[in-house]
Structure 1
Amino acid sequence: MQTTRRNFLKSSLGLALASSFDVSAKKIKPRLAFSTLGCPTWPLSKIVQTAVATQYEAIEIRGLEKEMYLPKRPEFSTDIAQTRQLFADNKLKICNLGASSNLHFMDTTKRQKNMDEAKRFIDLAHELSCPYVRVFPNDLPKDQDREQTINLISENLSELGRYAKEAKVTVLLESHGQVIWKDVLLQIMQQANHPNVGLIWDIFNMWSITKESPTEVYKTLKKYIVHTHIKDGSMVNGKPAYTFVGKGEAPLKEAIDALKSGGYKGYYSFEWEKMWHPEIPEPELAFADYPQAIQQYF
């Protein structure tokens, strides 16, 4: 078959376009953060130095030097101006503050304590120009009516959203505890129904228990997901055994494919749970591995 000039040009153009798509695909760079849960003994200066050296864009503050209530630390109280300057000088962002607040308590005193903590973290996020504060749903106790508990979580989340609006902050409910099924999370988010409320998708947290397809989870909750927690591992005797990303059983490829195809623009925040699992490898190794390991999904 004779190759005409027109056919040759069409063929060449097709190859050039394919090549350009390949190059652009290789250049996709996810927005990376890591949680300080992974380095529970490090001072803030070392955390920042490590993030810069390993090319993260942001840090998620979940405790500092084993103190989980951040306002107790001078870095987030009396010395907050220096903290802001430290991040600005290093061109890093604080993308999320992890509060320990649980929204399921019907006991008035416990409920108020947890709501007060969440509001204090919202105030702190405002001072730090941090966009998000994480809270937990967190339980569906057997001694409480299930529907009433779900309604209460929704009401508390909505109240926090109204408070956060004044601070220009968004409150994020994390898929956590017993509240990890997509349909329950959807019910809570629909009932809370506030523009300053969103969802953190902890992929492994959910899948390790529910085994729900990440494609279906994302399809159900896409409207609300603005932040993700990334980790990998397997379940051993009913407990998580964490591994570096790509070395475990978590369906990260399916989840990240869903996020990419859905236009997700948020952070892929590495949650290395060293605080709760001291036996796992040291943060120096984990934080250095993650940026390369997650790139395989892009």
Structure 2
Amino acid sequence: MKYTNRKDFLQTSGLLLAMAITGSSFDLKKKMPLLSFSTLGCPDWTFEQIIDFAASNHFNGIEIRGIQRELDLTKCREFSTPENILSTSKLMKEKGLYFSDLGSSAAMHHQDTKERNKNLDEAKRFIDLAQKIDCPNIRVFPNNLPKDVERNATIDLIIQGLSELGEYAKGSNVKVLLESHGELVYVADLQKIMEAANSPNVGMVWDIVNMWSVTKEPPATVYSSLKKYIYHTHIKDLKVINGKEQYTFLGEGETPIFEAIDLLYNSGYNGYYSFEWEKLWHPEIEAPEKAIVHYAKVMREHFRDNN
């Protein structure tokens, strides 16, 4: 029988301990989702405030939907010149943060040529910016189904817009993502659009609550039909009080939000879970300092407890 001397024992024990520590931290890292938040929730913060807050609260990324109420990001100081873009990217890198998505206001449903071109041009400027700052996604809207236009004609316009933007983004690392939003929140409509657009540079932002609050379609039904198109998500919660929807902190509403989150996680979704606290549109809701911190805490607790 071969005996192990004390020196060999200590070396072996140290190696096993290191492997155990490395393995456990790897597993923890692997199991934790990528968290980001939309700047829609902090409309009055400077860019420096945004990234400092994100870093200090251990977020992985930031979804930029305006800075200090300027929604056209190409007009924001941080992205207005090549020098400023370089400086902004450097700040993000220093904080260990990534851009998860750029939220444009571009809507694909417009029929009027002038309005349509304006929206398409905005989306193209966002694609160009995303490529420069190594952001994987830009968001566009479907958005409305005007009563005075035949429904399928509007859906065709949305498909054409996405196809044009997908072609524009071809050869870049940027995906153009249609958010489930406005009057296009039913699975059948979104599936039809995604199948017709049929581009590797086109996909979806799954806003779970936007869909469920209108359609009440179960997350499992939605996800089974749309999962191959989903590259980014918007996470939020709400409840109905006296017939009106009111946003709540995550987990305090009545939506099946964690059912959707778990579907994503268990299927291997590797995109961001991005908190969309709509403070810009709803100034009466809680301050971002409270809501965004609460989001990160609840998400991390949920994944530690359930996975």
Q: Do the structures match in fold with TM over 0.5?
A: yes
Which residue of the other structure, out of 163, 185, 201, is the alignment partner of 2:206? 201
Corresponding letter in the other structure for 1:263: G
Give the direction of change, closer, same or farther, for the CA distance of 1:106–1:269 in structure 2 (3 Å limit). same
Give SS of 2:247's match: strand
Shift, 1:250, TM fit:
1.3
Give SS of 1:140's match: coil
Residue-pair matches, total: 278
CA distance in 1, matches of 2:134, 2:189: 31
Shift, 1:33, TM fit:
0.3
Partner of 2:130: 125
Task: Give yes or no for contact 1:103–1:152 (8 Å, CA) kept in 2.
Answer: yes
1:154 aligns with 2:159: yes
Which residue of the other structure, out of 268, 274, 282, is the alignment partner of 1:277? 282
Give SS of 1:149's match: helix
Give CA-to-partner distance per residue, 1:43-63, whole Å, 9 cap, x none. 000000000010000000000
1:106-125 alignment runs, 5 A limit = 106-125=111-130
CA distance in 1, matches of 2:277, 2:89: 24
1:242-253 alignment runs, 5 A limit = 242-253=247-258
Give SS of 1:200's match: strand
CA distance in 2, matches of 1:238, 1:122: 39
Shift, 1:196, TM fit:
0.4
Q: CA RMSD in A?
A: 1.8
1:134 aligns with 2:149: no
Shift, 1:258, TM fit:
1.4
1:268 aligns with 2:281: no
Give CA-to-partner distance per residue, 1:226-270, whole Å, 9 cap, x none. 111000111335543011100001101211121122211111000
Give SS of 1:222's match: helix
Partner of 1:16: none
1:33 aligns with 2:57: no
1:67 aligns with 2:88: no
Shift, 1:26, TM fit:
10
Give CA-to-partner distance per residue, 1:67-112, whole Å, 9 cap, x none. 0011111111122121111111111101110000000011111110
1:76-87 alignment runs, 5 A limit = 76-78=79-81, 79-87=84-92
Partner of 2:105: 100
Corresponding letter in the other structure for 1:36: T
CA distance in 1, matches of 2:255, 2:117: 36
Shift, 1:165, TM fit:
1.6
Task: Give yes or no for contact 1:54–1:291 (8 Å, CA) kept in 2.
Answer: yes
Shift, 1:296, TM fit:
4.2
CA distance in 1, matches of 2:226, 2:153: 22
Give CA-to-partner distance per residue, 1:122-159, whole Å, 9 cap, x none. 01111111110000000111111101111110111011
Task: Give yes or no for contact 1:38–1:272 (8 Å, CA) kept in 2.
Answer: yes
1:254-265 alignment runs, 5 A limit = 254-265=259-270
Give SS of 1:223's match: helix
Corresponding letter in the other structure for 1:159: E
Corresponding letter in the other structure for 2:47: L
Give the direction of change, closer, same or farther, for the CA distance of 1:73–1:27 in structure 2 (3 Å limit). closer
Give SS of 2:53's match: helix
1:164 aligns with 2:169: yes
CA distance in 2, matches of 1:278, 1:141: 28
Query: TM-score scaled by structure 2?
Result: 0.87
Structure 2 residues not aligned, in runs of 5+: 1-22
Shift, 1:219, TM fit:
0.4
Give the direction of change, closer, same or farther, for the CA distance of 1:34–1:143 in structure 2 (3 Å limit). same
Give SS of 2:258's match: helix
Partner of 1:5: none
Which residue of the other structure, out of 44, 49, 53, is the alignment partner of 1:50? 53
Query: TM-score scaled by structure 1?
Result: 0.90
Corresponding letter in the other structure for 2:55: V
CA distance in 2, matches of 1:30, 1:237: 35
Give SS of 2:104's match: strand
Shift, 1:29, TM fit:
1.0
Give SS of 1:166's match: coil
Partner of 2:291: 286
